[in-house]
Every structure is written in C-alpha cells, then in structure tokens.
Amino acid sequence: MQELNTVQVIAIWALPVLFAITVHEVAHGWVAKKLGDPTAMMMGRLTLNPLKHIDPIGTVVVPLALVLMGGFIFGWAKPVPVTWDNLRNPKRDMALVALAGPMANLVMAFGWALIMKVGFVLGDDFNWLAWPLIYMGGAGIAINGVLMLLNLLPVPPLDGGRVLAGLLPGPWAWKLSRIEPYGLMIMVGLMVTGMLGKILGPPLHYFESFMFSLAGVS
C-alpha cells in the first residue's frame, strides 16, 4: 500500500470515526425508544447528524491526536440520555440499551469490510476510487473493533459495565454501580500501565484478522 501523508491520513479516518461514534450513540437511543423511553428522540438525538453528538474532546481532539501519533485510536461522543423509569423492565432493558452500542459497531465493521472488498474488486482499473475505499474500509474496521471491545469491558460507566449490572442479582449490581465514579480513573490507569493494550490487543487482533479476511486481505 502507498505511504500516506498527514492530510490523507486525517481524510481517511475522519468519516469512519464520525460514523463509529455517532451510530453507536444513536443505537443506544433507538433501542431505548423501542423499550419505552423516548428521551433521546425528544432531545433530537436519534439522528445521524454528527453535530448533535460531537463531544469536542472525545470526538475531535482525542481521535485526531491519536491518528497523528499513530497510536491506539478511540474516542467518544456525548452520551445519549436514557430515563431509567421510562423503561418497561428497567434492569433488563438498560442492559439491552447498553449492548446496542457495541453491536452497532460490530455491524458497521462488517459494512466497512464490504467497502474494503469493493475496493479490491475495482482494482487497478479504478485505483483513484479503489485505494480510498480500501484505506477507509481498513480504518472503519479498526475504529469499530476498538470501540466495540473497549465498550464491552465490564467497567462502569462503559456499556459492558451496564450489561453486567443487568445480569447480576440486585445486591451485586448495586455494588458494581458504586464503581462508576471511579471508572474513568480505572481506564486511565489501565492505559498508562499498558494493561489496556494487553487486554484488548489479542481479541482486537483476531477481530481485525477475521474482518480483513472477509475483505479479501490474506
């Protein structure tokens, strides 16, 4: 593959990152609405317009800095509001709402693998279109894999923590929820010590290898 300059790298990653973060949040709100809570819809958050979901730091600054440094790419958007009392079965439904975000990233990863496959099919005859599709498909697989696996970690307030709380008996779920104020510090600690990479590295490698194989990358 060709060597990309900084502008090209940003252009390749911009759309996959925006879609990965935006659709993740919309999925939370859409499932919440289906389960009885229209809060996200009433606040105009059930839209693919990224301006409604952008967090200046998490959606722009952090991903951009990581792209330029060539590091571990991830980001976040403004959380979609969910009103617990509106859900028909709050404990179960909150877990389903949380799970919707990572599952949306999984679906998008398959979509980007298909886009990457199209790029390879177009080949040298249409290289002006093929290479952007291939690079963007690879970026889409990577960012969605990271967001899916990162959010499935059982640490509140990540989605995995909420899913686990929905599966645990009441007293244990309550004990887990007490960790939430320290969730960010836990994640920072995992990143600084390098443990986050060791935890996510192997499953991310297998996930990306599988997706790239679907796209036709040997």
| pTM of the entire predicted model | 0.90
Confidence of residue 73 (pLDDT cuts 50, 70, 90): low
pLDDT of residue 138: 95
pLDDT of residue 54: 80
Residue 28, C-beta contacts closer than 8 angstroms, at least 6 positions apart: 40, 79, 80, 82, 97, 98, 100, 101
Cβ–Cβ under 8 Å, residues 165 and 95: yes
Helix/strand/coil for 1: coil
Q: Which residue blocks in 123-194 are alpha helix, DSSP H?
A: 127-151, 159-167, 170-177, 183-193
CB count within 10 Å of CB 187 equals: 16
Burial class of residue 80, CB neighbours in 10 A (0-12, 13-18, 19+):
buried
Cβ–Cβ under 8 Å, residues 134 and 119: yes
Radius of gyration from C-alpha coordinates of the chain: 18
Residue pLDDT, tens place only, 145-186: 999 999 999 999 899 999 999 999 989 999 999 998 998 889
Q: Is the pLDDT of residue 1 over 60?
A: no
Q: Is the pLDDT of residue 45 over 70?
A: yes
Catalytic residues: 25
Q: Which amino acid is at 104?
A: A
> Helix axis angle, 195-215 relative to 127-151, nearest 10°?
140
pLDDT of residue 57: 80
CA distance 56 to 75: 10
Give the mean pLDDT of 70-94.
85
Phi (first) and psi of residue 70, to 5 degrees: 70, 30
Looking at per-residue confidence, does 180 or 35 come out higher? 35
